[in-house]
Amino acid sequence: MEETKKLIEKANSIGIIASNEKLESFPVSLSLFYSLKKINKNVNLLTEEIPKKFRFLVPSTDFISSSKNFIISVKNPGKSEISEVFYEKKEDCLNFYIKTKRGSLKKNNISFKVLPEKNDLLIFVGVDKISKDNIPEGTSVININNLKESLDNNFTNILEEGSSLSEITSSFFKKSELEIDKKVANCLLSGLIYYYDNFQKTTDSSSAFKLAAELKEKGALHQKIVKYLKFS
């Protein structure tokens, strides 16, 4: 935890990346975003979109950073020779034109990739397989997860098997002395309610109920969250 605190203190720019497979990771990532913003960190939530059911936690998507850098790759297997590339900007679209001297290109020769943002620190939330190819050299990584197989000694791991990401991150907030205000509490309780199926999911741990009570004390609106997540 000391190492994690140092990484956050040292970082000038922090990127937070949620898992596309674990929906709980989105409200948890938002809780990190709000908390780190409050200590004046330059922090970006790197996601294409917030899942519809969690959009009530976001007053505006203007501050959420999708990547601004992209690359269009054309695989040229040697059968064609590209002679000219140009683009035409229209009112509602941008067309790229590729001319070949010989041969032809197929659709599957063309790919579109997002270039990684330049951040001193990346925080992955619930991402079970972190691709090292997408991490720029010199970037530190914090891996928050509840799956033992995601452990990677190249990263700083905050890992607790069998717990929700909300519980793990709440514990991280407390140990790092990061404030859990109403916004943060709402995000964490949303993740907790989603993970435990509004506490209908069987759990032997009393920690989830204890945490829910603590978050409600900090201003989290249980009934509002249940309504938006459409639990009965």
Angle at 183 between CA 124 and CA 51, to 5 degrees: 55
CB 193 within 8 A of CB 229: yes
For 221, the token pair is 């609106």
Contact indicator for 191, 27 with CB cutoff of 8 Å: yes
Classify residue 212: in a domain, yes or no.
Answer: no
| Residue 99 falls inside a structural domain | yes
> What element of type H or E holds 231?
none
Residue 16 covered by a domain? yes
Whether residues 11 and 59 share a domain: the answer is: yes
> Whole-angstrom Cα distance, residue 25 to residue 204?
22
Q: Are 75 and 104 in contact (CB under 8 A)?
A: no
In angstroms, the CA 110 to CA 198 distance is 44
* Domain match, 130 and 45 both: yes
pLDDT tens digit string along 99-147? 887 777 777 778 776 655 678 999 999 999 888 877 888 899 999 999 9
Answer whether residue 59 is part of any domain.
yes
Does residue 33 sit within a domain? yes
Residue 138 sits in the same domain as residue 81:
no
Note whether residue 194 is domain-resident: no
Cα–Cα distance, 63 to 25 (Å, whole number): 18
Q: Does residue 120 share a domain with residue 60?
A: yes
Least confident of 25-29, 158-162, 169-173, 217-221: 158-162
For residue 223, the tally of other CB atoms under 10 A from its CB is 7
Q: What is the pTM of this model?
A: 0.76
The CATH number covering residue 13 comes to 3.90.1640.10
Query: Is-contact 46 63, C-beta < 8 A?
Result: no
- Examine the domain organization and report whether 34 and 87 are in the same domain: no
Task: Check pLDDT > 90 for residue 202.
Answer: no
Q: Report yes or no on 170 lying in a domain.
A: yes
Whether residue 95 is found in the same domain as residue 129: no
Q: Containing domain of residue 55, as a range? A: 2-67+116-177
Domain membership of residue 225 (yes or no) is: no
Query: Residues 136-195: pLDDT tens digits?
Result: 888 999 999 999 888 888 899 999 988 999 999 999 999 888 999 999 999 999 999 999
User: 48 and 82 share a domain?
Assistant: no
